[in-house]
Amino acid sequence: MSTTADYVLKHQPNDFIVREVSRPPVEACGDYSYAELEKCGLTTLEALTLIASHLGIPEADVSAAGLKDEDAVTRQTVSLRADYTEPFRIGLGPQTWLRVSAPVGRYDRHLEKGALLGNDFWLVIRGLSADAAERLWHRGGSRGQFRQYVVNYFDRQRFGIPGSNYRTADVGFALLAGDVRRAAAVLHEDTSEAVARGGLIPSEQARFIQDVDAGMDSLAAFDRISSRLRLFFAASSLSRDWNLQTAQAVAATGHLLPLYDDGHPLAGCLGLTGPQALASLPAGFPLQEPIALPRQDAPAMTMRATWRPTITATKIFLIDRGPDECFPGRHKLQVFFNLPSGSYATAAVHQMIAATMTTSPADRPTADAGAARAA
């Protein structure tokens, strides 16, 4: 049974628009061109591979600061170690394409992972009941905005591919244990099931399946997977550990809001029903980030220690509401908000709706009332 109102995200690409807010590089002329990448229907990793192939340069010479959704229209900065002057477009289908702008500057270093401040989101939330749409709209008061605190979970994009069983964390767990053959077996099983269900399979996983099914040894086929993707698998496992640790801390507060049903990658994770929990929840937890694969002189994966906050706050701006033309008899809501780097809009939306629908309107202050108390 669902713990929140029914709703639909990403029904069509323009329902989910993301713009990266980048951290500007140090101004210096160099070998790296910086440009804007706009894409749809592709992961960032796939887009970087396509760009490198188009320009005839190694994949290592194309980089981005963060990963953006494939089921969306996204814009982000990329760095290219290439001499090119004109914008270009690569089209793989009506809703699968990328565009790279002309260079906006040249710098002496590539764009490093994490070199961004956050992301802006313009979303259309579809399939809402009239009551859910009204409750969400009411929270904005006359100013059409409200503050939302969100448990900062890694969401489903971190744990799988569309149509899969979301087992990238299991692949990564095997890699971190040094069991590459087990990692290959899990990836083959998961991706094969996704193919059988008609899921959209990223190109590297599709090639891996084709290689193994054609008789190539699974270790050799897995070795053909890019280092970026293998590091992503390892990061997925560590992100799952972080989610479980955070869910335990949330449970200890006693102010619980169940978030996800069985079958979801975050099933068992919890939200907060009141501000009391904020004071008792740890500010954050350490997190390990894989940055380099094992080598002969370094048999273990190279890790970097980081820190991730347990709570992120955002201000939700309500843009418009009305009947949903895609789901007759239902309603849609258009919103805008910003999240810091590494936070997930899908998790924020789910917790926003869950919190709204489990709190009586009479018990919930409006934005105007909150402002009056603050004054």
Q: How far apart are CA 277 and CA 253, in angstroms?
A: 6
Q: How far apart are CA 310 and CA 248, in angstroms?
A: 11
The two three-digit tokens of residue 85, written as one number: 């002057």
Question: For residue 283, what is the DSSP state?
Answer: S
Strand partners, 17: 73, 122
How far is CA 31 from its chain centroid?
30
Identify whether the C-beta of residue 145 lies closer than 8 Å to the C-beta of residue 317: yes
Q: Which of 287, 190, 192, 173 is nearest to 230 (CA)?
A: 173
Catalytic residue from among 69, 71, 155, 211:
69
Strand, helix or coil at 46?
A: helix
Q: What is the CA radius of gyration of the chain?
A: 22
69 is catalytic: yes
Q: How far apart are CA 157 and CA 9, in angstroms?
A: 13
Q: Which of 274, 187, 287, 298 is nearest to 240 (CA)?
A: 287
Strand, helix or coil at 56?
A: coil
Q: How far apart are CA 333 and CA 318, in angstroms?
A: 8
Cβ neighbours, 10 Å, residue 170: 23
Pairing of strands 145-151, 311-323: antiparallel
Measure the CA angle with vertex 297, ends 295 and 302; round to 5°: 55
What positions carry a catalytic annotation? Answer: 69
